[in-house]
Chains A and B, each alone.
Chain A
Amino acid sequence: MRYTQEYTTLVAKDELAAGIYRFCLKAPAISRLAVAGQFVQVLVEGKQLRRPISLAGIDKQAETITIIFEIRGEGTDRMAKFVVGDTVDLVGPLGNGFPLPDAKHPVLIGGGIGNPPLLPLAEHYGNAATVISGFRTASAAILQEEFAATGATAVLCTDDGTAGFAGFTTQALEAHLATNPCDLICACGPMPMMSRLADIAEKNGILCYLSLEERMGCGFGACVGCAVDIRDENGNIKRKKVCTDGPVFLSKEVVR
Protein backbone atom coordinates (compact mmCIF):
# COMPACT_ATOMS: atom_id res chain seq x y z
CA MET A 1 0.00 0.00 0.00
CA ARG A 2 1.23 3.45 -0.93
CA TYR A 3 -1.45 5.59 0.71
CA THR A 4 -4.73 5.26 2.54
CA GLN A 5 -7.67 7.17 3.91
CA GLU A 6 -7.56 7.38 7.68
CA TYR A 7 -9.69 8.91 10.41
CA THR A 8 -7.01 10.44 12.59
CA THR A 9 -7.35 12.12 15.99
CA LEU A 10 -6.07 15.59 16.75
CA VAL A 11 -3.93 15.05 19.87
CA ALA A 12 -2.23 18.47 20.12
CA LYS A 13 -2.73 21.85 18.54
CA ASP A 14 -0.88 25.12 18.93
CA GLU A 15 -0.60 28.43 17.13
CA LEU A 16 3.04 28.98 16.15
CA ALA A 17 2.53 32.52 14.87
CA ALA A 18 -0.52 34.57 13.98
CA GLY A 19 -2.64 32.38 11.70
CA ILE A 20 -0.12 29.51 11.58
CA TYR A 21 -1.18 26.30 13.32
CA ARG A 22 0.52 23.05 14.20
CA PHE A 23 -1.48 19.85 14.50
CA CYS A 24 -0.16 16.62 15.94
CA LEU A 25 -2.39 13.80 14.74
CA LYS A 26 -2.60 10.18 15.85
CA ALA A 27 -2.36 8.45 12.49
CA PRO A 28 -1.11 4.84 12.84
CA ALA A 29 -1.51 3.89 9.17
CA ILE A 30 -0.24 7.12 7.60
CA SER A 31 2.70 7.52 10.01
CA ARG A 32 3.82 3.97 9.21
CA LEU A 33 3.93 4.70 5.46
CA ALA A 34 5.20 8.30 5.53
CA VAL A 35 8.61 9.69 4.56
CA ALA A 36 10.03 13.24 4.64
CA GLY A 37 8.65 15.53 1.96
CA GLN A 38 5.29 13.81 1.57
CA PHE A 39 1.92 15.44 2.21
CA VAL A 40 -1.61 14.61 3.31
CA GLN A 41 -4.99 15.75 1.99
CA VAL A 42 -7.21 17.10 4.76
CA LEU A 43 -10.99 16.91 4.56
CA VAL A 44 -12.78 20.07 5.62
CA GLU A 45 -16.54 20.04 6.22
CA GLY A 46 -18.39 22.17 3.71
CA LYS A 47 -15.57 22.24 1.17
CA GLN A 48 -15.52 20.14 -1.96
CA LEU A 49 -11.77 19.59 -2.23
CA ARG A 50 -9.33 18.40 0.41
CA ARG A 51 -6.46 20.68 1.46
CA PRO A 52 -2.95 19.41 0.67
CA ILE A 53 -0.62 20.01 3.65
CA SER A 54 2.98 18.79 3.85
CA LEU A 55 4.25 16.66 6.70
CA ALA A 56 6.29 18.57 9.26
CA GLY A 57 6.90 15.55 11.43
CA ILE A 58 6.62 11.76 11.35
CA ASP A 59 6.90 9.78 14.58
CA LYS A 60 6.60 6.10 13.72
CA GLN A 61 6.91 5.00 17.35
CA ALA A 62 4.21 7.31 18.66
CA GLU A 63 2.23 6.70 15.43
CA THR A 64 1.75 10.42 14.96
CA ILE A 65 2.29 12.93 12.19
CA THR A 66 2.63 16.70 12.44
CA ILE A 67 1.25 19.19 9.95
CA ILE A 68 1.70 22.95 10.00
CA PHE A 69 -0.52 25.22 7.92
CA GLU A 70 -1.31 28.86 7.47
CA ILE A 71 -4.83 30.26 7.18
CA ARG A 72 -5.07 31.19 3.53
CA GLY A 73 -8.79 31.00 2.87
CA GLU A 74 -12.06 29.43 3.98
CA GLY A 75 -10.77 25.85 4.02
CA THR A 76 -7.71 26.48 6.18
CA ASP A 77 -9.77 28.83 8.33
CA ARG A 78 -12.12 25.94 9.10
CA MET A 79 -9.16 23.65 9.74
CA ALA A 80 -7.89 26.14 12.32
CA LYS A 81 -11.14 25.64 14.24
CA PHE A 82 -10.49 21.92 14.86
CA VAL A 83 -10.02 21.18 18.57
CA VAL A 84 -8.00 18.51 20.35
CA GLY A 85 -9.94 15.24 20.31
CA ASP A 86 -11.56 15.94 16.93
CA THR A 87 -11.49 13.33 14.19
CA VAL A 88 -9.61 14.54 11.13
CA ASP A 89 -10.19 12.68 7.86
CA LEU A 90 -6.91 12.40 5.95
CA VAL A 91 -5.74 10.80 2.73
CA GLY A 92 -2.03 10.11 2.67
CA PRO A 93 0.84 9.95 2.68
CA LEU A 94 0.98 11.34 -0.84
CA GLY A 95 3.80 12.37 -3.15
CA ASN A 96 7.31 11.00 -3.31
CA GLY A 97 9.15 12.98 -0.67
CA PHE A 98 12.79 14.05 -0.72
CA PRO A 99 15.26 11.47 -2.06
CA LEU A 100 17.67 12.03 0.90
CA PRO A 101 20.96 11.61 -0.95
CA ASP A 102 24.17 11.33 1.08
CA ALA A 103 25.44 14.82 1.77
CA LYS A 104 28.20 16.17 4.03
CA HIS A 105 27.05 19.78 3.96
CA PRO A 106 23.36 20.01 3.09
CA VAL A 107 21.63 23.37 3.18
CA LEU A 108 17.85 23.35 3.67
CA ILE A 109 16.03 26.52 2.67
CA GLY A 110 12.46 27.41 3.51
CA GLY A 111 10.39 30.46 2.69
CA GLY A 112 7.47 31.16 5.06
CA ILE A 113 5.04 28.26 5.20
CA GLY A 114 7.55 26.33 3.05
CA ASN A 115 9.62 25.74 6.19
CA PRO A 116 7.63 22.94 7.89
CA PRO A 117 8.39 20.17 5.34
CA LEU A 118 12.13 20.80 5.93
CA LEU A 119 11.90 19.72 9.57
CA PRO A 120 11.96 15.96 8.89
CA LEU A 121 14.87 16.62 6.52
CA ALA A 122 16.75 18.49 9.24
CA GLU A 123 16.16 15.52 11.54
CA HIS A 124 17.59 13.21 8.87
CA TYR A 125 20.78 15.23 8.28
CA GLY A 126 21.17 16.42 11.89
CA ASN A 127 24.18 18.54 12.75
CA ALA A 128 25.58 18.30 9.23
CA ALA A 129 22.75 20.51 8.02
CA THR A 130 22.32 24.25 7.81
CA VAL A 131 18.73 25.47 7.73
CA ILE A 132 18.08 28.90 6.26
CA SER A 133 14.54 30.04 7.05
CA GLY A 134 13.03 33.19 5.67
CA PHE A 135 9.99 35.08 6.91
CA ARG A 136 8.41 38.46 6.25
CA THR A 137 9.02 39.68 9.79
CA ALA A 138 10.08 38.47 13.24
CA SER A 139 6.54 37.80 14.44
CA ALA A 140 5.91 35.44 11.49
CA ALA A 141 9.03 33.36 12.21
CA ILE A 142 8.40 29.75 13.22
CA LEU A 143 10.30 26.53 14.02
CA GLN A 144 13.68 28.07 14.93
CA GLU A 145 13.93 26.06 18.16
CA GLU A 146 12.77 22.93 16.42
CA PHE A 147 15.40 23.27 13.70
CA ALA A 148 18.11 23.94 16.31
CA ALA A 149 16.95 20.88 18.29
CA THR A 150 17.81 18.62 15.35
CA GLY A 151 21.43 19.67 15.69
CA ALA A 152 21.31 21.68 12.49
CA THR A 153 22.65 25.23 12.30
CA ALA A 154 19.56 27.41 12.04
CA VAL A 155 19.87 30.71 10.18
CA LEU A 156 16.89 33.02 10.52
CA CYS A 157 16.21 35.65 7.86
CA THR A 158 13.54 38.34 7.84
CA ASP A 159 12.64 40.49 4.88
CA ASP A 160 12.29 43.56 7.09
CA GLY A 161 15.32 42.87 9.27
CA THR A 162 13.33 42.62 12.52
CA ALA A 163 15.17 39.41 13.43
CA GLY A 164 18.26 37.53 12.24
CA PHE A 165 19.76 38.15 8.83
CA ALA A 166 18.14 41.19 7.19
CA GLY A 167 17.19 40.06 3.70
CA PHE A 168 16.07 37.11 1.64
CA THR A 169 17.09 33.47 2.06
CA THR A 170 18.78 33.66 -1.32
CA GLN A 171 21.09 36.40 -0.04
CA ALA A 172 21.77 34.42 3.13
CA LEU A 173 22.62 31.39 1.00
CA GLU A 174 25.10 33.38 -1.08
CA ALA A 175 26.72 34.66 2.10
CA HIS A 176 26.85 31.11 3.45
CA LEU A 177 28.41 29.73 0.28
CA ALA A 178 31.14 32.37 0.34
CA THR A 179 32.68 30.77 3.42
CA ASN A 180 31.16 27.29 3.71
CA PRO A 181 31.08 24.11 1.64
CA CYS A 182 27.69 22.88 0.38
CA ASP A 183 26.90 19.72 -1.57
CA LEU A 184 23.10 19.67 -1.43
CA ILE A 185 20.28 22.20 -1.40
CA CYS A 186 16.68 21.27 -0.57
CA ALA A 187 14.12 24.04 -0.70
CA CYS A 188 10.44 24.76 -0.29
CA GLY A 189 8.84 28.16 -0.60
CA PRO A 190 7.52 30.74 -3.05
CA MET A 191 8.44 30.18 -6.69
CA PRO A 192 10.50 33.40 -7.07
CA MET A 193 12.67 32.28 -4.15
CA MET A 194 13.10 28.76 -5.51
CA SER A 195 13.82 30.06 -8.98
CA ARG A 196 16.65 32.23 -7.64
CA LEU A 197 17.94 29.30 -5.55
CA ALA A 198 18.00 27.11 -8.62
CA ASP A 199 20.17 29.71 -10.37
CA ILE A 200 22.59 29.85 -7.43
CA ALA A 201 22.75 26.05 -7.22
CA GLU A 202 23.41 25.77 -10.93
CA LYS A 203 26.11 28.45 -10.86
CA ASN A 204 27.88 26.64 -8.03
CA GLY A 205 27.31 23.14 -9.35
CA ILE A 206 25.30 22.04 -6.29
CA LEU A 207 22.67 19.32 -6.41
CA CYS A 208 19.36 21.04 -5.68
CA TYR A 209 15.85 19.72 -5.01
CA LEU A 210 12.76 21.91 -4.97
CA SER A 211 9.42 20.97 -3.40
CA LEU A 212 6.68 22.48 -5.55
CA GLU A 213 3.16 23.53 -4.76
CA GLU A 214 0.16 23.62 -7.09
CA ARG A 215 -3.61 23.63 -6.75
CA MET A 216 -4.73 20.01 -6.42
CA GLY A 217 -7.87 18.01 -6.91
CA CYS A 218 -7.28 14.48 -5.69
CA GLY A 219 -3.61 14.39 -4.65
CA PHE A 220 -2.96 10.90 -6.02
CA GLY A 221 -2.78 11.29 -9.77
CA ALA A 222 -6.35 10.76 -10.90
CA CYS A 223 -7.49 14.29 -11.74
CA VAL A 224 -4.33 15.63 -13.40
CA GLY A 225 -5.08 19.05 -11.92
CA CYS A 226 -1.64 19.92 -10.51
CA ALA A 227 0.41 20.09 -13.68
CA VAL A 228 3.90 21.53 -13.83
CA ASP A 229 6.35 21.73 -16.73
CA ILE A 230 9.36 19.46 -16.22
CA ARG A 231 12.37 19.18 -18.52
CA ASP A 232 13.77 15.68 -19.00
CA GLU A 233 17.44 14.72 -19.53
CA ASN A 234 17.12 15.31 -23.26
CA GLY A 235 15.70 18.78 -22.80
CA ASN A 236 12.16 17.79 -23.73
CA ILE A 237 9.48 19.52 -21.69
CA LYS A 238 6.75 17.31 -20.29
CA ARG A 239 3.81 18.25 -18.16
CA LYS A 240 4.08 16.29 -14.91
CA LYS A 241 1.89 16.01 -11.84
CA VAL A 242 3.07 17.71 -8.65
CA CYS A 243 1.24 15.07 -6.60
CA THR A 244 2.49 11.75 -8.00
CA ASP A 245 5.55 12.81 -10.01
CA GLY A 246 6.66 15.27 -7.28
CA PRO A 247 6.21 17.31 -5.23
CA VAL A 248 10.04 17.20 -5.09
CA PHE A 249 11.88 17.74 -8.37
CA LEU A 250 15.51 18.37 -9.29
CA SER A 251 15.91 22.14 -9.72
CA LYS A 252 17.34 21.72 -13.21
CA GLU A 253 14.21 19.81 -14.26
CA VAL A 254 11.80 22.57 -13.25
CA VAL A 255 10.85 24.86 -16.12
CA ARG A 256 10.78 28.38 -14.67
Chain B
Amino acid sequence: MADMRVNLCGVELKNPVITASGTFGYGHEFQDFYPVGKLGGISCKGTTLLERPGNPSPRIAETPSGMLNSVGLQNPGVEAFVTELLPWMREQDVTVIANIAGSSVEDYVAMAERLNDEDIQMVEMNISCPNVREGGASFGTSTAMIEDITSQVKRKLTNKPLMVKLTPNVTNIGDMAAAAEAAGADAVSLINTLTGMRINIRTRRPVLRNNTGGMSGPAVFPVAVRMVRDVYKRVKIPVVGLGGISTWEDAVEMMIAGATAIQIGTANFRDPYAAIKVIEGMERFADEQGLSSITELTGTLNEW
Protein backbone atom coordinates (compact mmCIF):
# COMPACT_ATOMS: atom_id res chain seq x y z
CA MET B 1 0.00 0.00 0.00
CA ALA B 2 1.20 3.50 -0.81
CA ASP B 3 2.62 5.63 1.95
CA MET B 4 -0.01 8.31 2.57
CA ARG B 5 2.13 10.47 4.84
CA VAL B 6 3.19 13.89 3.66
CA ASN B 7 5.70 16.29 5.11
CA LEU B 8 4.32 19.80 5.22
CA CYS B 9 7.21 22.15 6.04
CA GLY B 10 8.53 19.86 8.74
CA VAL B 11 5.19 18.64 10.09
CA GLU B 12 4.35 15.05 9.28
CA LEU B 13 0.71 14.55 8.36
CA LYS B 14 -0.81 11.03 8.37
CA ASN B 15 -2.26 11.81 4.98
CA PRO B 16 -2.65 14.92 2.81
CA VAL B 17 -6.24 15.64 3.87
CA ILE B 18 -6.81 18.57 6.23
CA THR B 19 -10.24 19.91 7.10
CA ALA B 20 -10.52 23.59 6.27
CA SER B 21 -10.92 26.39 8.76
CA GLY B 22 -14.49 27.44 9.44
CA THR B 23 -16.02 24.24 8.13
CA PHE B 24 -15.01 21.79 10.84
CA GLY B 25 -15.33 23.75 14.07
CA TYR B 26 -12.75 22.39 16.50
CA GLY B 27 -13.21 18.78 15.45
CA HIS B 28 -15.50 17.60 18.26
CA GLU B 29 -18.54 18.45 16.10
CA PHE B 30 -17.50 15.60 13.77
CA GLN B 31 -16.47 13.09 16.42
CA ASP B 32 -19.93 11.46 16.28
CA PHE B 33 -19.28 10.60 12.63
CA TYR B 34 -15.69 9.34 12.82
CA PRO B 35 -12.56 9.62 14.96
CA VAL B 36 -10.99 12.86 13.78
CA GLY B 37 -7.57 11.34 14.37
CA LYS B 38 -7.98 9.69 10.97
CA LEU B 39 -7.45 13.07 9.31
CA GLY B 40 -4.18 14.46 8.10
CA GLY B 41 -4.96 17.56 10.11
CA ILE B 42 -7.59 19.97 11.31
CA SER B 43 -7.37 23.68 10.59
CA CYS B 44 -9.36 25.19 13.44
CA LYS B 45 -12.12 27.75 13.15
CA GLY B 46 -10.54 31.17 12.54
CA THR B 47 -9.44 32.58 15.87
CA THR B 48 -9.03 36.23 16.77
CA LEU B 49 -7.23 37.81 19.72
CA LEU B 50 -10.49 38.61 21.49
CA GLU B 51 -13.92 37.00 21.24
CA ARG B 52 -15.89 38.09 18.16
CA PRO B 53 -19.68 37.85 17.78
CA GLY B 54 -19.47 37.75 13.98
CA ASN B 55 -22.07 39.15 11.62
CA PRO B 56 -25.86 39.14 12.02
CA SER B 57 -27.97 36.45 10.27
CA PRO B 58 -28.73 35.43 7.59
CA ARG B 59 -25.15 34.36 7.10
CA ILE B 60 -25.69 31.52 4.66
CA ALA B 61 -27.02 31.42 1.12
CA GLU B 62 -26.94 28.53 -1.29
CA THR B 63 -25.69 29.21 -4.82
CA PRO B 64 -25.42 26.94 -7.86
CA SER B 65 -22.90 24.23 -6.84
CA GLY B 66 -21.79 26.26 -3.89
CA MET B 67 -22.67 28.63 -1.11
CA LEU B 68 -22.03 32.07 0.28
CA ASN B 69 -21.23 32.69 3.91
CA SER B 70 -20.78 35.83 5.93
CA VAL B 71 -20.13 34.37 9.37
CA GLY B 72 -17.58 37.07 10.06
CA LEU B 73 -15.18 35.10 12.25
CA GLN B 74 -17.48 34.42 15.19
CA ASN B 75 -15.16 32.76 17.71
CA PRO B 76 -14.41 32.78 21.44
CA GLY B 77 -10.93 34.30 21.11
CA VAL B 78 -7.44 32.80 21.30
CA GLU B 79 -7.41 32.36 25.09
CA ALA B 80 -10.60 30.28 25.08
CA PHE B 81 -9.27 28.34 22.10
CA VAL B 82 -6.12 27.37 23.99
CA THR B 83 -7.71 26.64 27.37
CA GLU B 84 -11.14 25.25 26.45
CA LEU B 85 -11.01 23.80 22.94
CA LEU B 86 -7.43 22.72 22.32
CA PRO B 87 -7.22 20.18 25.20
CA TRP B 88 -9.85 17.91 23.61
CA MET B 89 -8.16 18.19 20.24
CA ARG B 90 -4.85 17.18 21.80
CA GLU B 91 -6.41 13.90 22.96
CA GLN B 92 -7.38 12.94 19.42
CA ASP B 93 -3.91 12.29 18.03
CA VAL B 94 -4.48 14.72 15.18
CA THR B 95 -2.31 17.46 13.69
CA VAL B 96 -3.74 20.77 14.87
CA ILE B 97 -3.34 23.84 12.72
CA ALA B 98 -4.37 27.02 14.52
CA ASN B 99 -5.96 29.47 12.10
CA ILE B 100 -5.54 33.09 13.15
CA ALA B 101 -7.17 36.26 11.87
CA GLY B 102 -7.05 39.84 12.99
CA SER B 103 -7.78 43.45 12.25
CA SER B 104 -4.29 44.80 12.87
CA VAL B 105 -0.70 43.60 12.53
CA GLU B 106 -0.48 43.82 16.34
CA ASP B 107 -3.36 41.33 16.68
CA TYR B 108 -1.56 38.77 14.55
CA VAL B 109 1.73 39.29 16.34
CA ALA B 110 0.07 38.93 19.75
CA MET B 111 -1.59 35.67 18.69
CA ALA B 112 1.69 34.34 17.31
CA GLU B 113 3.29 35.01 20.70
CA ARG B 114 0.39 33.37 22.53
CA LEU B 115 0.49 30.23 20.37
CA ASN B 116 4.24 29.86 20.01
CA ASP B 117 4.63 27.47 22.95
CA GLU B 118 1.23 25.77 22.81
CA ASP B 119 0.76 22.19 21.72
CA ILE B 120 -0.24 22.93 18.14
CA GLN B 121 1.70 21.85 15.07
CA MET B 122 1.31 24.83 12.79
CA VAL B 123 -0.21 28.28 12.43
CA GLU B 124 -2.28 29.19 9.41
CA MET B 125 -2.47 32.96 9.05
CA ASN B 126 -5.73 34.06 7.47
CA ILE B 127 -5.08 37.32 5.65
CA SER B 128 -8.00 36.70 3.38
CA CYS B 129 -11.31 36.75 5.25
CA PRO B 130 -13.74 38.67 3.01
CA ASN B 131 -16.41 38.99 5.70
CA VAL B 132 -14.77 41.31 8.18
CA ARG B 133 -14.26 44.90 7.19
CA GLU B 134 -10.76 45.20 8.58
CA GLY B 135 -10.59 41.43 8.66
CA GLY B 136 -7.45 40.38 7.14
CA ALA B 137 -8.39 40.58 3.48
CA SER B 138 -6.91 44.05 3.28
CA PHE B 139 -3.59 42.52 4.37
CA GLY B 140 -3.83 39.88 1.70
CA THR B 141 -4.28 42.04 -1.36
CA SER B 142 -1.01 43.97 -1.29
CA THR B 143 2.44 42.40 -1.58
CA ALA B 144 3.95 45.08 0.70
CA MET B 145 1.44 44.34 3.45
CA ILE B 146 1.86 40.57 3.09
CA GLU B 147 5.60 40.95 3.49
CA ASP B 148 5.23 43.21 6.48
CA ILE B 149 2.73 41.08 8.40
CA THR B 150 4.43 37.79 7.52
CA SER B 151 7.86 38.94 8.63
CA GLN B 152 6.52 40.43 11.87
CA VAL B 153 4.58 37.28 12.74
CA LYS B 154 7.57 35.07 11.85
CA ARG B 155 9.72 37.01 14.29
CA LYS B 156 7.46 35.95 17.18
CA LEU B 157 6.41 32.53 15.92
CA THR B 158 9.79 30.92 16.35
CA ASN B 159 8.65 27.42 17.30
CA LYS B 160 5.95 26.68 14.72
CA PRO B 161 5.81 26.71 10.96
CA LEU B 162 3.74 29.53 9.48
CA MET B 163 1.35 28.93 6.61
CA VAL B 164 -0.14 32.01 4.97
CA LYS B 165 -3.69 31.60 3.64
CA LEU B 166 -4.19 33.62 0.48
CA THR B 167 -7.24 35.28 -0.99
CA PRO B 168 -8.24 34.70 -4.61
CA ASN B 169 -9.65 38.24 -4.78
CA VAL B 170 -6.44 39.65 -6.31
CA THR B 171 -5.13 40.25 -9.79
CA ASN B 172 -2.09 38.00 -9.42
CA ILE B 173 -2.04 35.44 -6.63
CA GLY B 174 1.46 34.33 -7.63
CA ASP B 175 2.79 37.75 -6.58
CA MET B 176 1.09 37.40 -3.20
CA ALA B 177 2.54 33.94 -2.63
CA ALA B 178 5.99 35.16 -3.62
CA ALA B 179 5.69 38.02 -1.13
CA ALA B 180 4.78 35.60 1.66
CA GLU B 181 7.70 33.35 0.74
CA ALA B 182 10.13 36.26 0.62
CA ALA B 183 9.05 37.32 4.11
CA GLY B 184 9.67 33.86 5.55
CA ALA B 185 6.39 31.96 5.24
CA ASP B 186 6.93 28.20 5.51
CA ALA B 187 3.91 27.34 3.34
CA VAL B 188 0.96 28.95 1.64
CA SER B 189 -2.63 27.72 1.50
CA LEU B 190 -5.12 28.79 -1.11
CA ILE B 191 -7.79 29.69 -1.96
CA ASN B 192 -9.97 31.39 0.61
CA THR B 193 -13.47 32.26 -0.60
CA LEU B 194 -14.32 34.47 -3.58
CA THR B 195 -16.31 37.53 -2.60
CA GLY B 196 -19.85 37.23 -3.92
CA MET B 197 -23.41 38.45 -3.54
CA ARG B 198 -27.00 37.30 -4.11
CA ILE B 199 -30.06 39.54 -4.23
CA ASN B 200 -33.67 38.74 -3.37
CA ILE B 201 -35.48 40.12 -6.41
CA ARG B 202 -38.75 40.69 -4.49
CA THR B 203 -37.27 42.73 -1.66
CA ARG B 204 -34.27 43.98 -3.68
CA ARG B 205 -32.23 43.24 -0.59
CA PRO B 206 -29.05 41.20 -0.52
CA VAL B 207 -29.77 37.68 0.73
CA LEU B 208 -26.99 37.98 3.30
CA ARG B 209 -27.39 40.49 6.11
CA ASN B 210 -23.74 41.42 5.54
CA ASN B 211 -24.61 42.18 1.88
CA THR B 212 -21.62 40.28 0.53
CA GLY B 213 -20.14 36.94 1.49
CA GLY B 214 -17.48 34.42 0.62
CA MET B 215 -18.30 31.93 -2.10
CA SER B 216 -17.13 28.34 -1.76
CA GLY B 217 -18.06 24.87 -2.92
CA PRO B 218 -17.59 22.89 -6.14
CA ALA B 219 -18.30 25.99 -8.28
CA VAL B 220 -14.96 27.56 -7.26
CA PHE B 221 -12.86 24.41 -7.75
CA PRO B 222 -11.54 25.21 -11.26
CA VAL B 223 -10.45 28.66 -10.07
CA ALA B 224 -8.64 27.06 -7.15
CA VAL B 225 -6.87 24.51 -9.37
CA ARG B 226 -5.62 27.23 -11.70
CA MET B 227 -4.39 29.36 -8.81
CA VAL B 228 -2.62 26.46 -7.07
CA ARG B 229 -0.88 25.72 -10.35
CA ASP B 230 0.14 29.40 -10.70
CA VAL B 231 1.49 29.54 -7.17
CA TYR B 232 3.26 26.16 -7.39
CA LYS B 233 5.17 27.46 -10.41
CA ARG B 234 6.07 30.64 -8.59
CA VAL B 235 7.29 29.57 -5.12
CA LYS B 236 9.48 26.86 -3.60
CA ILE B 237 7.62 26.55 -0.29
CA PRO B 238 4.85 23.93 -0.08
CA VAL B 239 1.38 24.80 -1.35
CA VAL B 240 -1.76 23.55 0.37
CA GLY B 241 -4.64 23.48 -2.09
CA LEU B 242 -8.26 24.11 -1.21
CA GLY B 243 -11.40 25.54 -2.74
CA GLY B 244 -14.33 23.38 -3.71
CA ILE B 245 -12.72 19.96 -3.28
CA SER B 246 -15.51 17.46 -2.67
CA THR B 247 -14.25 14.15 -4.06
CA TRP B 248 -11.01 12.17 -4.00
CA GLU B 249 -10.65 12.86 -7.72
CA ASP B 250 -10.68 16.60 -6.96
CA ALA B 251 -8.03 16.07 -4.28
CA VAL B 252 -5.78 14.14 -6.68
CA GLU B 253 -6.28 16.85 -9.30
CA MET B 254 -5.26 19.50 -6.80
CA MET B 255 -2.09 17.60 -5.90
CA ILE B 256 -1.18 17.20 -9.56
CA ALA B 257 -1.63 20.98 -9.90
CA GLY B 258 1.02 21.43 -7.22
CA ALA B 259 -0.47 20.87 -3.79
CA THR B 260 1.54 19.07 -1.10
CA ALA B 261 -1.63 18.67 0.95
CA ILE B 262 -5.24 19.64 0.43
CA GLN B 263 -8.10 20.95 2.54
CA ILE B 264 -11.77 19.92 2.49
CA GLY B 265 -14.19 22.69 3.36
CA THR B 266 -17.76 23.18 2.20
CA ALA B 267 -18.05 19.47 1.29
CA ASN B 268 -18.09 18.67 5.03
CA PHE B 269 -21.57 20.20 5.29
CA ARG B 270 -23.15 18.13 2.56
CA ASP B 271 -21.42 14.90 3.53
CA PRO B 272 -19.91 14.77 7.01
CA TYR B 273 -17.77 11.84 5.80
CA ALA B 274 -16.40 13.76 2.81
CA ALA B 275 -12.84 14.01 4.17
CA ILE B 276 -12.71 10.30 5.07
CA LYS B 277 -14.02 9.32 1.64
CA VAL B 278 -11.34 11.50 0.04
CA ILE B 279 -8.60 9.79 2.07
CA GLU B 280 -9.88 6.32 1.15
CA GLY B 281 -10.27 7.22 -2.51
CA MET B 282 -6.76 8.66 -2.68
CA GLU B 283 -5.38 5.47 -1.12
CA ARG B 284 -7.10 3.34 -3.74
CA PHE B 285 -5.92 5.62 -6.54
CA ALA B 286 -2.33 5.58 -5.30
CA ASP B 287 -2.34 1.78 -5.22
CA GLU B 288 -3.98 1.54 -8.62
CA GLN B 289 -1.32 3.88 -10.01
CA GLY B 290 1.45 1.88 -8.35
CA LEU B 291 2.72 4.84 -6.32
CA SER B 292 4.92 4.12 -3.36
CA SER B 293 4.05 7.47 -1.82
CA ILE B 294 1.15 9.84 -2.33
CA THR B 295 3.70 12.66 -2.50
CA GLU B 296 4.63 11.43 -5.96
CA LEU B 297 1.54 13.21 -7.28
CA THR B 298 2.50 16.73 -6.28
CA GLY B 299 3.20 19.05 -9.19
CA THR B 300 3.20 16.33 -11.84
CA LEU B 301 1.03 18.36 -14.17
CA ASN B 302 2.06 17.93 -17.78
CA GLU B 303 0.92 21.15 -19.40
CA TRP B 304 0.19 21.53 -23.08
Contact = CB atoms under 8 A, between A and B. Distances in A.
A215 B71 contact: no
29 contacts: A1-B32, A2-B32, A47-B62, A48-B217, A48-B218, A48-B269, A49-B60, A49-B269, A49-B270, A50-B269, A50-B270, A215-B57, A215-B61, A217-B67, A217-B269, A218-B272, A220-B272, A221-B25, A222-B23, A222-B24, A223-B69, A224-B45, A225-B59, A227-B59, A227-B71, A227-B74, A228-B57, A238-B53, A239-B74
B212 interface: no
Nearest to B46: A224
Given A5-B273, A215-B60, A224 B54 contact: yes
Contacts of B63: 48
B33 A218 contact: no
Interface in B240-292: 266, 268-273
A91 B272 contact: yes
A222 to B, nearest CB: 4
B58 interface: yes
Given A224-B54, A227-B56, A238-B53, A218 B62 contact: no
Interface residues of B, number: 35
Contact of B269 (A4, A223, A227): A223
A224 B71 contact: yes
Interface in A1-52: 1-5, 43, 47-50
B23 to A, nearest CB: 6
Interface string A227-250: 111000000001100001000000
B30 interface: yes
B65 interface: yes
Nearest to B74: A224
Contacts of A160: none
Contacts of B266: 48
Contacts of A157: none
A226 interface: yes
Give the top 8 A-B pairs by smallest Cβ distance, nearest first.
A222-B25, A225-B60, A222-B29, A215-B60, A239-B53, A218-B269, A221-B29, A215-B58
B208 to A, nearest CB: 9
A146 interface: no
A63 interface: no
Q: Which of B29, B53, B54, B67 has the most CB of A within 10 A?
A: B29
B66 interface: yes
Contact of A214 (B25, B33, B53, B57): B57
B71 A223 contact: yes
A238 B23 CA distance: 21
Contacts of A49: 60, 62, 67, 269-270
B196 interface: no
Interface of A: 1-5, 43, 47-50, 75, 91, 214-218, 220-229, 238-239, 244
Nearest to A44: B270
Nearest to A221: B29
B22 interface: yes
Given A5-B271, A48-B217, A49-B62, 5 more contacts: A75-B62, A221-B29, A223-B25, A225-B71, A227-B71
B60 A222 contact: no
Contact of A215 (B45, B55, B59): B59
Contacts of B60: 49, 215-217, 223, 225-226
A187 B54 CA distance: 27
A43 B272 CA distance: 11
B93 to A, nearest CB: 20
Contact of B270 (A43, A224, A227, A228): A43
A218 B54 contact: no
B112 to A, nearest CB: 24
A218 B29 contact: yes
Contacts of B53: 238-239
Q: Which of B22, B58, B59 has the most CB of A within 10 A?
A: B59
Contacts of B25: 221-224
Interface string B145-170: 00000000000000000000000000
Contacts of B66: 48
Contact of A5 (B29, B54, B272): B272
A4 B58 CA distance: 26
A148 to B, nearest CB: 36
B200 to A, nearest CB: 12
B91 to A, nearest CB: 18
A247 to B, nearest CB: 13
Contacts of B62: 47-49, 75
A137 to B, nearest CB: 21
A2 B32 CA distance: 7
Contacts of A221: 25, 29
Contacts of A226: 57, 59-60
Contact of A225 (B69, B218, B268, B270): B69
A218 B268 CA distance: 8
